[in-house]
Structure 1
């Protein structure tokens, strides 16, 4: 164990160490030269930091802290106000306190405060802001207290054990008035009514697809058009909806290191996502929130599993959806197989909104097989090459351009296969806003599905 001398020396600041060194030098010169006044000055210089160290070491204090974070969920790119209340639980007044709050680097710099002679039982209210630079679950604290003497020669540090959670969630972006079934998504009863609220003569119909229930065939429309027609209902938007989120690292161009989360602003976004995965996660948060608002029971499935609610009531709530998505990261799963198996078991009769990274025709065929049926599903395919930017060395630009062309060809083939199977498909790039992609899905959904629901030959 360290003795009192070693403890005192370890608590000296740089100024205190320099003063001790100066005192020892003066003492040596005084002894060698036989100058008594020089020796007296040296003793005084050496005594000052030692007395300060003894005073600080003997001081007893008890400090408690409490944090209040507002809001408790910080959207990525947003800020939160933190109120830090420091209470002197001792009876006597405190000395000169230097307080340093431990803040994760992804939330900004760690703030420091100076509190001088806080009365016994008194509380000092301090405030600072944190910025959600990166999505995730973080903790603020613990608080580090440094006690110094009035001369700044001795420093004593004590670290607390208290902390407070902060969740940086994906942003919920406005989708606009358009979108699939947007005219019926105003909430309340309008979000739950069927399309079939008209008379028998003006019922909404569509062409028959493989897997449709024959009991829903509208014979009058069939006789009028000359092809088999079925009644069109809004059941998918009122019952259950499932979001399939592709988090495979091999399907995205991920931002690494300090550049992650710091893309320059664009014309429509002050804090654009750093990569295609972040774009899809924000799309899942925004679309999922909209579906919940319309009255749907929401389930979110990834290639690594399902994001289950804490309370077993069937679907995710708006807050739970954001909390679960805040912890989602890239997975090492190579294919969509595990997620598609879960999707086939849990999606039911509701629609599926598939948010996909780089996708090939084989994977698209697996997705179609997992979702055979009469319901029109939606798919957003991200152009991951658009997130590459211009930061490619000249020697690699030709190979990168070739890889981008191959990815584009694969994506177009996958999109054509999905459309031929009755899916509504759009592509999204780094410069596309989510509202524009959602509106394009609505425009594509106005046309009838081009063929039966199944895997094309």
Structure 2
């Protein structure tokens, strides 16, 4: 009992210290120029007391009075403020997105002036301007401050508290308030640009079984007509039937079947441990590039990866499938189980489906784990020809630009 009582008293003492420090942090404090101003007033007051000159005494009281008025004004200036943060739920690494700070003045009569807002000090969050200035916020008004930002690392990022500082009106005394508002954002990996040879290889597999957005309609006989599903190839819409029925209809051609892919990501550590992290990020970027390319082609595909648990997604296409896989890629790490222990659970063997196997080691080691008749596309991050699967633009960049990403999302929504 004595030990529990001592522990409880220690916790109470710690809580009191935390409350004391929290109370001291919100107290108005002199700025650097305010300290100089107050010291000059104290000097004049001492000189007036020494020389018994009333003019010096009055001049000495003036700076102290101005600092006191500033402290009271700052305290009222920060009362009744509420700051929130609004941003998209996901963004690509290195892609600029907008964070909107919402400053709500809940006071009934008094406006707030000269507010300096400083967002979270997250090291992976890069902003054009880390501090934002709100010149004036009217009573019962919400001011919106847009901030351009980008993330440097994939994964889940939590934006934490914000601080609001003001030294209005004289700049002699400043006060700060910490606003508790937490929000999460997922950073997708940046899709790498695929080489022309790899794109043609994927398109050849797609044309063999079905139509992609780049293929041409054949001369086969019409098998039937069905309703259009979101994300399918727009070239297959039969406009006469669409006009008759009032909803988009698709022509099913005889002998045509939808192409299907399965992306298998194997992140079991193989090879030089010094280059493991670099190979992992390159492999994840290539997987994101293939996902982006298949989404642009309106191809049906699924994804399989073993992290802490085995994930085998359902077949899908379009933006919903893209975001589901990219959110998984944002949290991909090294796998503890080798490929041979879980490849049988993926469900390979469908003649209509083409496997795309991405592995950290050499592709010869992974090809032995696949059925010989699968016709899989195997890429190893440890191979010397790994970079031949990537392409560079005229500026030497190997990742897809923000404009291309926005264009791809716009086409997917259309």
**TM-score, normalised by the number of residues in structure 1:** 0.59
Contact 1:94 1:119 in 2 (8 A): yes
1:48 aligns with 2:59: no
Contact 1:280 1:356 in 2 (8 A): yes
Q: What are the superposed Cα offsets for residues 33-78 of structure 1, whole Å, 9 maximum, x if unpaired?
A: 44443233222222221232133234563233454436x5432232
The aligned counterpart of 1:319 is 323
The aligned counterpart of 1:348 is 348
Hey, what's the Cα distance between the residues in 2 that align with 1:8 and 1:191? 62
Contact 2:266 2:358 in 1 (8 A): yes
Contact 1:247 1:277 in 2 (8 A): no
The aligned counterpart of 1:83 is 100
Could you say if the C-alpha distance between residues 58 and 325 of structure 1 is closer, same or farther in structure 2, counting changes exceeding 3 Å? same
Could you say if the C-alpha distance between residues 281 and 6 of structure 1 is closer, same or farther in structure 2, counting changes exceeding 3 Å? closer
SS in 2 for 1:370: coil
The aligned counterpart of 1:375 is 374
Hey, what's the Cα distance between the residues in 1 that align with 2:47 and 2:205? 93
**TM-score, normalised by the number of residues in structure 2:** 0.64
Q: What are the superposed Cα offsets for residues 8-37 of structure 1, whole Å, 9 maximum, x if unpaired?
A: 975222222222233333333333444443
1:16 aligns with 2:15: no
Hey, what's the Cα distance between the residues in 1 that align with 2:347 and 2:272? 23
Q: What are the superposed Cα offsets for residues 135-171 of structure 1, whole Å, 9 maximum, x if unpaired?
A: 2322445432113221111212112222443332123
The aligned counterpart of 1:282 is 285
1:357 aligns with 2:360: yes
The aligned counterpart of 1:57 is 75
1:29-428 equivalence runs, <5 A:
29-59=47-77, 61-69=79-87, 72-92=89-109, 93-102=111-120, 104-109=122-127, 111-140=130-159, 142-175=161-194, 176=196, 178-185=199-206, 189-190=210-211, 238-239=259-260, 241-246=262-267, 248=269, 251=272, 253=274, 275-291=278-294, 293=297, 295-302=299-306, 305-307=309-311, 313=314, 317-329=321-333, 331=334, 333=336, 337=338, 339-349=339-349, 350-359=353-362, 364=365, 367-368=366-367, 370-383=369-382, 427-428=385-386
Q: What are the superposed Cα offsets for residues 385-443 of structure 1, whole Å, 9 maximum, x if unpaired?
A: xxxxxxxxxxxxxxxxxxxxxxxxxx6xxxxxxxxxxxxxx7214xx45259xxxxxxx
Unaligned runs of 5+ in 2: 1-18, 221-254, 393-414
What is the alpha-carbon root mean square deviation over aligned residues?
4.1
Hey, what's the Cα distance between the residues in 2 that align with 1:249 and 1:15? 60
Shift of 1:283: 0.8
**Structure with the larger strand share:** 2
Shift of 1:318: 1.0
Unaligned runs of 5+ in 1: 200-232, 257-274, 384-410, 412-425, 437-457
Hey, what's the Cα distance between the residues in 2 that align with 1:187 and 1:64? 59
Shift of 1:129: 0.8
Contact 1:245 1:354 in 2 (8 A): yes
Hey, what's the Cα distance between the residues in 2 that align with 1:68 and 1:31? 57
Hey, what's the Cα distance between the residues in 2 that align with 1:289 and 1:301? 17
* Paired residues, number: 324
Hey, what's the Cα distance between the residues in 1 that align with 2:154 and 2:357? 22
Could you say if the C-alpha distance between residues 295 and 96 of structure 1 is closer, same or farther in structure 2, counting changes exceeding 3 Å? closer
SS in 2 for 1:64: strand
Contact 2:211 2:259 in 1 (8 A): no
Could you say if the C-alpha distance between residues 320 and 357 of structure 1 is closer, same or farther in structure 2, counting changes exceeding 3 Å? same
Hey, what's the Cα distance between the residues in 1 that align with 2:272 and 2:307? 11
